[in-house]
Structure 1
Amino acid sequence: MKTYFHNKKITSMLGIVPSFVSYFDDEVNNYTFPPKQTMMLKKIMGFNKHHLSKPDSSVADFAIFGLQYMLKNKWILKDEIGAIVVVTVCPDFFMPHISNIVQSSLNLSNEVICLDIAQGCSGFLVGLMQCFMFLEHLNDKKVVLINGDVLSHKVSKQDRNDFPLIGDGTTITVIENTKDNEQINTKIYYELYMDGSRADALRIPAGGFKMPSTPETAKMYDVGDGNLRALDHLHMEGSAVFSFVQQEVPPLVQSLLHHTNKTLENFDVFLFHQPNKFMLQKLSQKIGIDSEKIPMNLVENYGNLSGACIPMVALHNFKDELKNKIFKTLLCAFGSGLSWCAMDFELGNLEYCEILEADL
């Protein structure tokens, strides 16, 4: 899909991560591999530390904590909220939806639209698309976009391929229609693609209606490469995902440049999904992006935060500058689904932006 949006802007961004931090050096003995061999991954993949939530913490807990902070500090008022869009692959329950839980917990009006979207790595851009469409019908109301996952609950601690990578966290983004005479480019170009035929490259086999979780699906087993996991656990086929990213993302970026009549030099920064440092380095080299313009440091500080990666990498690297500067950004996400998408977007002059740690 190729399309344009007009007259939309982000006004505030908040990141919330759990206060507990686990260090890669302390996890080395979790694995069956020799420690020296495992430590080689630290430099190659960019592993260092990741924020992990408590076993009973959920995305709704992070979302409510963050929105309460925003309301208390008047980042947004209750009567300004026209819709809540939650994008996650970690629902609190099959029913009710997280957006409804948030609406109820904060005592918001029953006129507030509540919508949950099941999407992982591309969740921020998919969520923005939905928010933009809602804003066409909400006049002066604002939309609250919540991107969050607690995927560490679904990863084996004895799986060296997946566990060091995953982090937990949630971002809350406030989106609204632009006003007349604002110094921001109001034309937003957007491309989105999906390919379910390759969906098994990122999956959690058990836990849904097709294969409910049972004592059998919880049994740990050696998958053949020294890593231990169960059918209840997340697994990423690293080579398949790497090939997919290298194959699909460079043409996507070139297509966006073609349709916007721009070059890579026209952008101040490239905010990409953060799978791991190695994959981003290879991808940026293939596209031809100046390494100084594409942050690759989220995994080493927080872990891969799934759909919250793009707003968190923006906050982590440019939190102070975002308040008084406009960045010409190329946003790009790719992963579960499989899905890949990109957006030409001007981000900046934010009213508020901050990262919080929560005891969750």
Structure 2
Amino acid sequence: MNISTVKGVRMEAIAACVPENKVDNLEFAKAHFEEDMSSNIKALGVVERHVAVKEETTSMDMCVAAAEKIFAEGGVKKEDIGAVIFVTLTPDCLMPNNSTYAQHLLGLGKDVATLDINHACPGYVFGLWNAALIAQNLQKKVLLLDGDINSKYVSPWDKSTALLFGDAGTATVVTPDASAPNWHFTFMSDGSNRDAITVKLGMRYPLKKEYLDYQVWEDGGKRRFIDMYMNGRAVFDYVVDVVPEIANAFMDELETSGEEYEKLVLHQANHFMLKKLAKAIGFDHKTQMPVCMNKYGNTSSVSIPITISSELSEPVDHIFMIGMGAGLASGIADISLKGLKNLGVIEKEL
């Protein structure tokens, strides 16, 4: 197992932004599906979702709003930022990248480094790792933006995805601090099963007119070719069978165990699935596992930072973090949130 230890960094501030428009999942299901979906919604754990209604809204808008909240109220100065990382699978455009435009929109110095990371479910852990390494190397603060506007590529008539996904954006500042506890990371990637969760729009699948037409697929889902496809069974098996092995091995290497951590912060994929994962790695889901998918749904990689923003308003130190899913890939981290300034979740007309 490869373990990366990053010394001398801490998470200084975090904020999140969601559209103010809320979708009641029971009402949504009644409007889009003939059968009763209440049992499905209960298992998912998604009561409502925040979904953008304006066509022009993107992940950029939400992340920039979250970052501005930090600069206005978090005690972070724009001139202290040395790099911007933007984690998203829904960028404004293929080129140029989101992070470079975010630098401009936020009025940051032109000498900052800008980097985009295209990752879904485990993306925040990958982004946090890169932010920590860059902050350590530059000895400058790094602004980590993580946002996705999932509603743009999820069919409202696809039972496996329509009731699950919401829109959100976050901003995190990672700061050099020689006195901070060490952070530890490990990762797993298995691209052989990449089709378990996929959005087939790119250079291998250039846009065609017929890709915009809704059709019923073999799995029973009604969606466009460009919409997200998810094999729920394959993802479930990965999360409950493979991820616990990696997480337990990681804790063995660190000589820690579940009860030593204050919180287990997981990618908000499916409530039933998360409870099984927590139990498999020795955590109490009732006391250690904060959940926000009941309010925001699955917001892709954004779900970890929005969970911190919305559910960890009280001071928390030692946490265990797992992002898992699309790729198929996992990112696992043992970090400290000591001294974090949590500015919560703001809602905007988007």
TM-score normalized by structure 1? 0.92
Instruction: Give runs of aligned pairs for residues 266-277 of structure 1, distance below 5 A.
Output: 266-277=260-271
Q: Is the 8 A contact 1:11 1:349 kept in 2?
A: yes
Picking from 219, 228, 236, the partner of 2:230 is 236
**Does structure 1 residue 204 correspond to structure 2 residue 205?**
no
Match of 1:27 in 2: 28
Number of equivalenced pairs: 348
Match of 1:17 in 2: 18
Q: Deviations over 1:205-244 (max 9, x none)?
A: 2x21211222201111112454311111001100000111
| Alpha-carbon distance in structure 1 between the residues aligned to 2:174 and 2:290 | 25
Secondary structure, counterpart of 1:189 in structure 2: strand
Q: Deviations over 1:74-133 (max 9, x none)?
A: 531111110000000001011111111111122221111111110111111100111111
Q: Is the 8 A contact 1:10 1:173 kept in 2?
A: yes
CA drift at 1:42: 2.0
| CA RMSD of superposed structures (Å) | 1.6
Instruction: Give runs of aligned pairs for residues 1-360 of structure 1, distance below 5 A.
Output: 1-35=2-36, 38-54=37-53, 55-73=55-73, 75-139=75-139, 141-180=140-179, 184=180, 186-205=181-200, 207-295=201-289, 297-319=291-313, 321-322=314-315, 326-360=316-350
Equivalent residue letter for 1:162 = T
CA drift at 1:247: 2.0
Equivalent residue letter for 2:242 = E
Equivalent residue letter for 2:240 = Q
In structure 2, runs of 5+ residues without a counterpart are none
Q: Is the 8 A contact 2:15 2:69 kept in 1?
A: no
* Segment drifting more, 130-139 vs 70-79: 70-79
| Alpha-carbon distance in structure 1 between the residues aligned to 2:39 and 2:342 | 39
| Alpha-carbon distance in structure 2 between the residues aligned to 1:74 and 1:14 | 9
| Alpha-carbon distance in structure 2 between the residues aligned to 1:277 and 1:148 | 21
Secondary structure, counterpart of 1:135 in structure 2: helix
Secondary structure, counterpart of 2:243 in structure 1: helix
| Alpha-carbon distance in structure 2 between the residues aligned to 1:74 and 1:275 | 29
CA drift at 1:70: 2.5
Equivalent residue letter for 2:103 = Q
Q: Deviations over 1:246-299 (max 9, x none)?
A: 222111111121111112111111111110111112222322321223435322
Q: Is the 8 A contact 1:271 1:313 kept in 2?
A: yes
CA drift at 1:72: 2.9
Q: Is the 8 A contact 1:41 1:47 kept in 2?
A: no
Q: Is the 8 A contact 2:199 2:226 kept in 1?
A: yes
Distance 1:17-1:32 versus aligned 2 partners, 3 A rule: closer
Give aligned-pair identity as a percent.
26
Distance 1:265-1:297 versus aligned 2 partners, 3 A rule: closer
Secondary structure, counterpart of 1:56 in structure 2: coil
Q: Is the 8 A contact 1:92 1:98 kept in 2?
A: yes
Secondary structure, counterpart of 2:337 in structure 1: strand
| Alpha-carbon distance in structure 2 between the residues aligned to 1:238 and 1:314 | 26
| Alpha-carbon distance in structure 2 between the residues aligned to 1:330 and 1:154 | 31
CA drift at 1:352: 4.1
| Alpha-carbon distance in structure 2 between the residues aligned to 1:137 and 1:84 | 14
Secondary structure, counterpart of 1:22 in structure 2: strand
CA drift at 1:345: 0.9
CA drift at 1:68: 2.5
CA drift at 1:71: 2.4
* Segment drifting more, 74-83 vs 160-169: 74-83
| Alpha-carbon distance in structure 1 between the residues aligned to 2:341 and 2:302 | 20
Equivalent residue letter for 1:124 = Y
Q: Is the 8 A contact 1:32 1:226 kept in 2?
A: no
TM-score normalized by structure 2? 0.95
Equivalent residue letter for 2:195 = D
| Alpha-carbon distance in structure 1 between the residues aligned to 2:196 and 2:338 | 35
Q: Deviations over 1:33-58 (max 9, x none)?
A: 412xx111121211210000132201
